[in-house]
Amino acid sequence: MLLHGFLALVPLVAPTFQGEADAPEVTQEELEAWTKEIQAEVEELRGAKFRRPVPVAVSDEATLMEYVQKREDMLESPEVRAANVTVAKMLGAMPADMDFEAEIRALLEGQVGGFYDPETKGFYLMKSFTGGLARSILAHELTHALDDQLFGIDATLEARKGNADAQWAFQAVVEGSGTAVGNAWTAKYGKLSPEEMMEQASMGMDVLKDAIPYIYKPLLGSYLRGLLFLSRANSLMEMAMGGKEPTQDAYAQCFGAPPLSSEQVLHPAKYWDPDLRDDPVELTLELEGMPEGWSPILEQTQGELGWALILEDPAKRTGLSSPMAVMGVVYTRASSAGWGGDRYVLLGKGDARVLVARTIWDSGADAEEFLAALDERAEFLRSSAKATADARGLEGSGFEFGAVGERGARLLVWIGTGADEARAVDAAVKSRVGETGEE
């Protein structure tokens, strides 16, 4: 998926509002008292017991950013992070001149109320974070602590390295759980004032208004679509009218055998309904016989959410201006639905880069719809490749695509080299479906 590994932090931090300037800071004693009380309430709402107390501490922004850097380094190397950004820029998911790391940090700085650290098993509350909303977020984050004690978080993320789409699907389970219990806690115990409810509805909007979909859709989707997934619903209306309240057995299933793709999160029946279950098709890329000097830098999976981001109309890639806009975010589209599986590889030779992708779809009609959408975006994708090359002072760029068999499609994007060499690299990449057979 286009997701940068940095977004694996999503389930563990609590984006919110800046504390009021004149509000007294929460003391360590107050935080510990809150935690003892809210842990018991989370146990009641969730129907499960904490195995041990959760250590808590009042923290500050400097500690948060140290934590962010530590988690980022644990999840991905700097080289992999840079490669993810290169792929996003080559495919037009972010502007060629964007400093992605700076954008993410700007999103977090001043907008995070607290975070749960799976390494220390503790929760840290920003010292400027106060009031009823602080308690509400504490309930949300304590749910993460409970899930971590019962099922483990980092072990599953680690097991899914190399497949960001599958990692995001698990993140949606984690964040959906926190959102479900956090919402239930707020409804029963929150006692928010009208002012706090208004602030809760609008929290974080000042940074989202200028954000790009590549950043905010995976971020918000892990919360909102994760909640819908656990409720086995496709929309908030469907959840309100007939969604299922997650049971402890359902949580155990989702954490023990999490959804395998963003497709299963975005279409819950493809996970929950045995008759509609739709696991991803495994695609394997074989890279032997590469032209001289070319070697792989990154291999990953886009998934349905990733392709939806790539195929979004560039004219509609705007930020979010209101809470209502958040509720109306679309995470997929007809041209990315029907996804069966994919794999892509970024290869390098000096500063030159070639991106080779292979996809397989549920039907020939789904593949044709995807190819038609690529054709509609072809000029934009070519211009994105050129802008990326220009920003790096490289000569040569391009974009091509085509059908592979009845249900497959291929993409080729290059910067810093010519079409002939890029096509030679593409031709050397062989793909297999499952254990046997070339695509």
- For residues 291 and 237, membership in a common domain is answered with no
Please, are residues 407 and 362 in contact by the beta-carbon 8 Å criterion?
yes
Number of structural domains found in the chain: 2
- For residues 291 and 417, membership in a common domain is answered with yes
**10 pLDDT band (50/70/90 cuts)?**
very low
**434 pLDDT band (50/70/90 cuts)?**
confident
Secondary element (H or E) of residue 103: helix 100-108
- Give the pLDDT of residue 290: 96
Global pTM reads 0.92
Task: Give, in degrees to the nearest 5, the angle at Cα 316 between 211 and 397.
Answer: 85
- For residues 148 and 245, membership in a common domain is answered with yes
Total Cβ atoms within 10 A of residue 148: 22
Q: Which residue has the higher pLDDT, 197 or 296?
A: 296
Task: Give, in degrees to the nearest 5, the angle at Cα 392 between 303 and 316.
Answer: 45
pLDDT digits (tens, 9 = 90+) for 203-222: 556 677 888 999 999 999 99
Of 207, 240, 272, the residue at which a domain comes to its end is 272
Percent of the chain with pLDDT over 90: 68
- For residues 187 and 144, membership in a common domain is answered with yes
**66 pLDDT band (50/70/90 cuts)?**
confident
Q: Give the pLDDT mean for 369-383.
A: 98
Give the SS3 label for residue 224: helix
Residue 16 placed within a domain: yes
Please, are residues 34 and 136 in contact by the beta-carbon 8 Å criterion?
no
- For residues 116 and 240, membership in a common domain is answered with yes
**3 pLDDT band (50/70/90 cuts)?**
very low
Of 210, 245, 272, the residue at which a domain comes to its end is 272
Report how far residue 204's alpha carbon sits from residue 325's, in angstroms, rounded to the nearest whole number: 13
pLDDT digits (tens, 9 = 90+) for 152-161: 999 999 999 9
- Give the pLDDT of residue 22: 52
Whether 261 has a pLDDT exceeding 90, the answer reads yes
- For residues 173 and 61, membership in a common domain is answered with yes
CA distance to 2, 269, 300, 333, 403, per residue, from 366 (Å): 21, 19, 22, 12, 12
- For residues 203 and 146, membership in a common domain is answered with yes
Q: Give the pLDDT mean for 355-375.
A: 98
Report how far residue 341's alpha carbon sits from residue 165's, in angstroms, rounded to the nearest whole number: 10
Which domain range does residue 320 map to?
A: 283-433
- For residues 316 and 257, membership in a common domain is answered with no
What's the chain's length in residues?
Answer: 439
Residue 439 placed within a domain: no
Residue 383 placed within a domain: yes
Residue 278 placed within a domain: no
Residue 304 placed within a domain: yes
- For residues 268 and 287, membership in a common domain is answered with no
Question: What is the overall mean pLDDT for the chain?
Answer: 89
**114 pLDDT band (50/70/90 cuts)?**
confident
- DSSP code at position 281: P
Percent of the chain with pLDDT over 70: 90
- How does 73-86 read in b/e, with b if 16+ C-beta sit within 10 Å? eebbeeebbebbbb
Residue 277 placed within a domain: no
- For residues 327 and 216, membership in a common domain is answered with no
Report which residue type is found at 249.
D
- For residues 223 and 340, membership in a common domain is answered with no
- For residues 215 and 290, membership in a common domain is answered with no
Residue by residue, DSSP assigns 114-183 as EEEETTTTEEEEETT--HHHHHHHHHHHHHHHHHHHHH-SHHHHHHTTT-HHHHHHHHHHHHHHHHHHHH
Residue 243 placed within a domain: yes
Of 272, 294, 328, the residue at which a domain comes to its end is 272
Report which residue type is found at 224.
L
Residue 185 placed within a domain: yes
Report how far residue 352's alpha carbon sits from residue 395's, in angstroms, rounded to the nearest whole number: 9
